[in-house]
Amino acid sequence: MGQREFVLRGRLIDEQGAGVPEVTFALVDRDVMDDDLIAVGRPAPDGTFCVSFTTTSFNQEPLEHDTTPRLALTVSMVEDDELKAFHCIQLPRLEFATDEETVGDLVLPLSYGAVGLFLDDPPIPKLAKSARRVELDGEFSEDLVERLEPVVETLTGWPSLGHGLKVILRNLVRRLRHAPGGLAVYDASTDTLYVDDDRMQLQSLDRVKVAIGRELVHRGQCKHHPEVAGHFELLRALRPEGGTHIEADLLRFCANVDGYGAWIERRLEYRFSGSVLLPPAGPLDPAIDDLLDDVEFEGSIPPPDAEVEARRALENVMGAAAAKGRAAYEALDKGQGTARFDPALRIDL
C-alpha cells in the first residue's frame, strides 16, 4: 500500500502512579529543521494511550525520507480556560522493529501545573502547519473499513458492517454541497460510505479511523433497523436555507441516532487516542481552537460564505441534540459498555 503503519502505546501517570486522563498530548516527530505534528489526543480514563500513524505523518516536508520517527510528547492541561503545556517528554529512539512500540508508564509532574509552572512552549507544536498525514486511496480506505469492522462489532453487537459497503473518495465540500460537515458520510439510499479524502488526509490516522468507525455505526443502525433509514435520509436532506428550526420528532430522532453514534465515537477515541480533530476541518475543541487565534495558518482558508455559516448553525443545533443523546446512552449504559441502540428511545430535549 506504500505506507507503513506504526503503533505507539503507553500510559500517563501522576507521581503516585495513578492514571491521568484529564490532559491533552501532542505527539511530534523531532526534525532538524521543522518538526512534524503527528497527532493530538487524550488518554483513556485509566491514563493509557494508543496512537497509530503512518510514514507520511513524519515525512511532511518534500525532501524527508525517514523510515522511523524521533518522537516527543508535549502534555498540556486547561488552566483558566486556556490549554497550557506543562511537560515535554523526549522519547528514546524507538526502532519499531515490529511496527509497534510500548513506552510503559510516563510520569507527569502534575504539581507543576498546580503551582503555575507552565512551559513557554506551545501546547500543540506546529498546530497551524498544513500537512498531509495519511495517504488515503481506495485500497487503504477499504482496508481500514475491514479492520474497523470487528472493533465496531464489539462495541455495538452488529456484525459484518463493512461487508458489501461501497467506499468512494470524494471532496464532500466541493461535490456534495449540502453534505454534513463530517469527514465521512454514510449514504443509506445507496449504501455508500463517502470519505472526504482532501480533508481526511490532513488528519491523524486515528481521527480517520474514528470518523469511518462512526459511519459504520450509522450503517448498522440502518441495516438492523430498516425503519431508521427513511428518517436518516430526512436528516441528511436538511438544507441550511431552511434555517435552524427542525421539527421536534425529527430532532429527537437526531438526538437518538447521532447520540448513539457519538457515544460509540467516544469509546473509539479511547481506543484510538490520537484522534483530536485538527485544523482546518473543525470544529475544534474550544481550548484548542483558541490557540489558532494568534497564529497564521499555513495554507489558504477562504472566509466562510453565508451558506457555510448557515450550515454550521444547523449543525450546531443537531450537534447539541446529539450531545444530549450521547449523555442518555451513557446514563443507560452505567459504565458497563453494553448498551445497544434503541430506535424507540425518547431523548429529553
Q: At 210, list the grid cell.
A: 474514528
**Same domain, residue pair 299 and 260:** yes
Q: Amino acid letter at 163? A: H
CA dist 208 and 238 (Å) reads 25
Upper half-sphere CA count for residue 27 (Cβ side, 13 Å): 31
Q: Are residues 87 and 161 in the same domain?
A: no
Is 125 domain-assigned? no
Q: Does 347 fall in a domain?
A: no
**Angle formed by the axes of helices 226-236 and 205-224, to 10°?**
130
Positions of E strands within 108-149: none
The mean per-residue pLDDT over the stretch 148-171 comes to: 94
In this structure, are 160 and 230 located in the same domain?
yes
What is the average pLDDT value for the chain, to the nearest integer?
86
Distances (CA, A) of 32 to 29, 36, 66, 261: 10, 11, 12, 42
Task: Looking at mean pLDDT, say which of 69-83, 117-131, 241-255 comes out highest.
Answer: 69-83
How many distinct structural domains can be found in the chain?
2
Task: Examine the domain organization and report whether 155 and 244 are in the same domain.
Answer: yes
Would you say residue 129 lies in a domain?
no
Same domain? For 146 and 95 the reply is no
Both 92 and 157 in one domain: the answer is no
207 and 247 inside one domain: yes
Is 345 a member of any domain?
A: no
Q: Does residue 286 register a pLDDT over 70?
A: no
Instruction: List the CATH number of the domain containing 59.
Output: 2.60.40.1120
Q: Which residue has the higher pLDDT, 280 or 54?
A: 54
Residue 102 CA: distances (Å) to CA of 8, 38, 99, 269, 335: 6, 17, 11, 19, 27
Q: Tell me which residue range forms the domain holding 295.
A: 138-333
Q: Quick one: pLDDT band at residue 297, thresholds 50, 70, 90?
A: very low
pLDDT score, position 230: 79
pLDDT in tens, 176-196: 433 445 789 898 889 999 999
- Segment 57-67, tens digit of pLDDT: 999 998 889 99
Three cell numbers at 250? 425529527
Q: How many CA atoms lie within 13 A of 212 on its CB side?
A: 36
Same structural domain, 107 and 236? no
